[in-house]
Chains A and B, each alone.
Chain A
Amino acid sequence: MKRTRRIDLSKMRKAAQPGNLAKVSIVLGGSYMLTGCDSTEAYIYRTISECALDNPLQPTECEFAYRNALADWQRTAPRYRSMSDCEYDFGYGDCRDHSNRYIPRMAGFMLSENQQGDDDFDLDFKRSKALGRSRTPSAYNKWVGADGTLFGEYGRRKMKVSGDSFTRLKGSARTIGRGGFGKTISSRSSRGS
């Protein structure tokens, strides 16, 4: 036989494809990030030393990831008018003053597996995500992002999360120009051959 033995026609159809399956979210006090096709393995550390224990060759990167997460958290964490409201959601002793408001403490930071391939690290230390520890009755003892997204039991250190959970890498790929390819085509008719 001199031709392709088998083609899976279902993979070749375009118009009839169901499209991207809509992500279903289950509301349980907050909304869970369900993992889709773009899921990634993520690791959660409560402290720099926990991170360094797990990644013995990257203590500096752990510290860097922690500091970035903390800076993000202070910028984005929910702000409460009263300490007790904050403590209702995040637990007694886990909130503090922050510019005339009360915010929860950061309880940990999450790192995804390195998908960029830029460096040799297993984890993507450049994009850490700050997490709090939710104590609100409907989501008791769960990891929670600054925007209220829940990530599972506080006891868990490793989980699959959606790739969207991490912010886009900023600064490391700032596009400074576009359109440097494709000019010839406008003066000549076709490009394939």
Chain B
Amino acid sequence: MLRIPCAERPDWKQKAETFGFRFHTMHGEPYWDESAYYQFTLQQIERDLEDPTAEIHQMCLEVVEQVVKSEELMRRFAIPEFYWDQIATSWYEREPSLYSRIDLAYNGTGPAKFYENNADTPTSLYETGFWQWLWLEEQVDRGKVNRQADQFNALQELLINRFSQLKTQMPDHQLHFACCKDTDEDRGTVQYLQDCAEQAGIPGAFVYVEDIGISDKGRFTDLNDTPISWMFKLYPWEFMQREDYGKHVASSHCRMIEPIWKSIISNKALLPMLWRLFPDHPNLLPAFFEDDNAASELGEYVRKPIFSREGANISVHKGNEIVIEGDGPYGAEGHVLQAWHPLPRYEDNYTLIGSWLVNDQPAGISIREDKGPITQDLSRFLPHIIL
């Protein structure tokens, strides 16, 4: 695994405009960064990233199996009691999932270490599935990257295939795509998914999360008062379950992607549960609930809120000392502790690997770099190749 500087495509910003990639620069900082790329061997990809991704996902599903059977664990996962049955039903009916992204720390040797699972609302999808794919095509054509180079990135192809499968379960249904207002990144992500769905022959529509209505018959509606019977929502279940319309979800006859059982594995309480079920697994880091006595065996550890996004509220501790303090709005629902396993450094950058799944199939990777050891929403996205 190498970091290789590379000349940027001179016209990439115009290209981004043409393809509607509007969030390559965010908060005035570059987000898409093609001044370098990462290079992996095929063995590194297949043995160290792809296979463990499939295995970690299966272990996560085993956690779901355990949690839906236990009121105590549902409580531990800070899931409101109102939703326990709904989540169990969704799981037992195997309500279909679309995608996930798991975050891994990996430096080219040894087992990748699992940080967490973005199983409900993962972003950086478009950059991965399409934009870095296009980068490779064009850099090969320009002779800047070896013609033999490949990329671990079947994301777009697998997404379209998955939508084709989902279509057979919801024949003749329109799929509404929803995200919050005022964010180009989320809007771009759901537009990409809508494009993939439409290429699979599913008619799509869009509605902002804030604009979703409820009808006199208890159906969710879009701004045209059309009932929403099937929805992809880039909006976390843990928020929805605590908001006014959460109570309507079960009776709304609306199929949701991701399904509600994903609230179990997008939750940081997943980490201590995995360690409990699969202790000493080479891809797992020791993790405990904060009030677990066994937590005292951790020397350096990361303290993560049960609900948290984009690295917010994550702090690093060494004994009683706080090494890195993270701020943010999360943490009200409790914390978990995970052994501190710092990200590898390449030059001045801390490098995190996002490993994608479409349903339960590993689908590709994305690479984020940050100036600090905790990847935040200002981290940059870099492409990669396999050679």
Contacts and interface: CB of A to CB of B under 8 A. Distances in A.
Contacts of A118: 227
A16 B14 CA distance: 12
Given A7-B130, A179-B210, A181-B240, A193 B123 contact: yes
A61 B124 CA distance: 49
Q: Which bucket holds chain B's interface residue count?
A: 35 or more
B245 A181 contact: yes
Interface string B213-248: 111110101001111010000111001101111001
A134 to B, nearest CB: 31
Contact of A11 (B199, B219, B236, B364): B199
B265 interface: no
B217 A173 contact: yes
Contacts of B243: 180-184
A15 B154 contact: no
Nearest to A185: B180
Given A173-B227, A181-B240, A4 B122 contact: no
A168 B214 CA distance: 17
Contacts of A180: 212, 214, 243-245, 248
Interface string A1-14: 11111011101111
Contacts of B351: none
Contacts of A188: 309, 312, 328-330
Contact of A191 (B45, B133, B266, B309): B309
Interface in B156-183: 156-157, 172-173, 179-181, 183
Contacts of B19: 12-15
B222 to A, nearest CB: 9
A15 B18 contact: yes
A173 B310 contact: no
Contact of B130 (A12, A179, A191, A192): A12
A57 B42 CA distance: 61
Contacts of A185: 180, 209, 235, 239
A188 B180 CA distance: 12
B60 to A, nearest CB: 15
Interface string A150-193: 00000000000000000011001111111111111101111111
B192 to A, nearest CB: 9
26 contacts: A3-B364, A4-B155, A8-B199, A12-B19, A13-B18, A13-B20, A115-B172, A168-B226, A172-B227, A174-B215, A175-B221, A176-B213, A176-B216, A177-B213, A178-B211, A178-B212, A180-B212, A181-B209, A181-B239, A181-B245, A183-B244, A191-B183, A191-B234, A191-B235, A191-B236, A193-B309
Contacts of B209: 181-182, 185
A5 B157 contact: yes
Contact of A3 (B136, B219, B244): B136
B366 interface: no
Nearest to A188: B329
A3 B140 CA distance: 14
A181 B210 contact: yes
A181 B157 CA distance: 32
